[in-house]
Chain A
Amino acid sequence: MVKLPIYMDNHATTPLDPRVLEAMMPFLTDRFGNAASRNHKFGWEAEEAVESSRKEIAALIGADPREIVFTSGATESDNLAVKGVAWMYREKGDHIITCVTEHKAILDTCKHLEKEGFRVTFLRVDSKGFVNLDDLRNAITDKTILISIMTANNEVGVVQDIKGIGKIARERGVLFHTDAVQAAGKIPFNVNEMNVDIASLSAHKLYGPKGVGALYVRRRNPRVLLTPIIDGGGHERGMRSGTLNVTGIVGFGKAAQIAREHLATESAEMMRLREKLRTTLERELDEVYINGDLQKRLPGNLNMSFAYVEGESLLMGINDIAVSSGSACTSASLEPSYVLKALGVGEDLAHTSIRFGIGRFNSEEEVDYVAARVIEVVRRLRELSPLYEMAKEGIDLKSVHWATEA
């Protein structure tokens, strides 16, 4: 029998790997030194641990350790990347290109910069979730200083053509930042093969601790300069002041090492489990729809709409399983997911979407349990759904005049 509740929301966060915790423990106790203390053993120990982690994180993405800047997490990394480039290269240009399905850490940072007078192009995506490379080419002007496009989307798991985007950016001499938070450690990601100049990473999405992230900042061809967003003691080559979170960084390094060593086998296993979940749900239920492209997608991601069943009520029925919904009712905003909307998923179907995020610690038994529970609850709620009844009677729901003022 599986242990309940089941955690299957690994895009939100991942559990800490026990091996990571073990690596961190000494730095929570005896090895408490400040990595910036240059004149005693406590400091040296801490610095050595930080540098060894830096190597591991660099190795995960094919970078040089000197190109890794530690931050408090992905939101800070995204802010530092976009604001750092905008403020540093303002003389050169005032135009930034990003995309509508980016994380809020990018979108809201760009909106902030718009208020400072920068111009931002928010590229649309197609129904599969992809940015069109011709649109990107056409958006670039001689004032464009940055392209920021995420590698893998946090809701639908769609993986952009980063290599293609990197090539365009390089040809046009524009810096390219990618939020690789969901991708790093899950799919192959190499900053040199992909011509990435700046990349955001987060520890807690790859079985490391919360509160620590990193920004990859290219040193050569081209050398990227960033204006810091936090001023102080000049840590991290002046790009990010503040005493380093040594414990977190040690955990991040260990997590990166494990992810790199097991990437191929782990990603194949995630894919196998995801496909089992998907095919079971599709076999047993009618009118279910995959949101986003199925092929170019994170192996552990399944984002599915269960027509005629509102997402929050479905979550309520499977309350021993932790997943997310794109339904408005699960958010404070009362708006369904802007990512699904950008893909052209109708609001009616957006309300019925569930995001499953399979991770390292999910077993096949758990996947079987989740599939069975979802099938049972969807069937029950459809019996309760006037929309399902109408659809079965052959009524075209789009032709119904709904009293939307309610």
Chain B
Amino acid sequence: MAYSDKVIDHYNNPRNVCALPKEDPNVGTGLVGAPECGDVMKLQIKVSESGVIEDAKFKTFGCGSAIASSSLATEWVKGKTLSEALAIKNTDIVKELSLPPVKIHCSVLAEDAIKAAITDWKKKHIGKD
């Protein structure tokens, strides 16, 4: 199976690997996938007062395409508002990384991870503003 150069680049130099403090009220954490399925992504966002994602981090258990998809997702959400981040589609990731059909589920998972992180952040802020 041949990987695209972009997948290889993200795999070799994953962007934004690390963990943000889960308890921080400004941090939203999304954990998607399952070990039995061979893919688990944890994507975290830190949202500023003005509602912009100022930082994003990830950790992924999965194949090279899954690592690349989540790495790319953290790059893309940074600097975006929540609604802009929600507009990122898995097909954008597929296109950017030239993922083959058998790896499309990796991009779906990355999109889900973004949504899950935003949902988590929103939960922490319900009724606060």
The residues of A with any CB-CB pair to B shorter than 8 Å are 308-310, 312-313, 316-317, 327-330, 332, 334, 336, 346-348, 351, 383-389, 397, 402-404, 406
Do A386 and B109 have beta carbons less than 8 Å apart? no
Q: With the chains together, A403 CA to B119 CA distance in Å? A: 14
Do A313 and B59 have beta carbons less than 8 Å apart? no
Whose C-beta in chain A lies nearest to the C-beta of B37? A404
Q: Could you tell me the dominant secondary structure of chain B's interface residues?
A: mixed
Whose C-beta in chain A lies nearest to the C-beta of B33? A406
**Which of B14, B33, B42, B108 contacts A402 (CB under 8 A)?**
B33
In the complex, B66 has a CB within 8 A of chain A: yes
Report the minimum CB–CB distance from B120 to chain A (whole Å): 13
Q: Scan residues 70-129 of chain B and give those whose CB is less than 8 A from a CB of chain A.
A: 102, 105, 108-109, 112
Which residues on A sit within 8 Å (CB–CB) of B14? 384
A/B interface sample: 29 pairs, CB < 8 A? A310-B39, A310-B61, A312-B64, A313-B62, A313-B63, A313-B67, A316-B3, A316-B11, A327-B38, A328-B38, A329-B63, A330-B1, A334-B102, A347-B38, A348-B35, A351-B36, A383-B17, A384-B14, A386-B40, A386-B59, A386-B61, A387-B61, A402-B36, A403-B32, A404-B34, A404-B37, A406-B33, A406-B39, A406-B109
Whose C-beta in chain B lies nearest to the C-beta of A404? B34
Whose C-beta in chain B lies nearest to the C-beta of A329? B63
Whose C-beta in chain B lies nearest to the C-beta of A388? B61
Report, nearest first, the 7 A-B pairs whose CB atoms are least far apart: A402-B34, A348-B35, A386-B42, A312-B63, A386-B59, A347-B36, A351-B38
Report the minimum CB–CB distance from B61 to chain A (whole Å): 5
In the complex, B41 has a CB within 8 A of chain A: yes
- Give the most central of A317, A347, A403: most B CB within 10 Å: A403
Do A386 and B11 have beta carbons less than 8 Å apart? no
Q: With the chains together, A111 CA to B92 CA distance in Å? A: 43
In the complex, B69 has a CB within 8 A of chain A: no
Q: With the chains together, A403 CA to B105 CA distance in Å? A: 14
Q: With the chains together, A312 CA to B38 CA distance in Å? A: 10
Report the minimum CB–CB distance from A357 to chain B (whole Å): 20
Whose C-beta in chain A lies nearest to the C-beta of B29? A386
Do B34 and A385 have beta carbons less than 8 Å apart? no
In the complex, B31 has a CB within 8 A of chain A: yes
Do A310 and B36 have beta carbons less than 8 Å apart? no
Q: With the chains together, A312 CA to B19 CA distance in Å? A: 24
**Which of A313, A329, A384, A403 contacts B17 (CB under 8 A)?**
A384
**Which of A336, A397, A403 contacts B38 (CB under 8 A)?**
A336
- Give the most central of B63, B67, B105: most A CB within 10 Å: B63
Whose C-beta in chain A lies nearest to the C-beta of B8? A316
Report the minimum CB–CB distance from B41 to chain A (whole Å): 7
Q: With the chains together, A347 CA to B67 CA distance in Å? A: 19
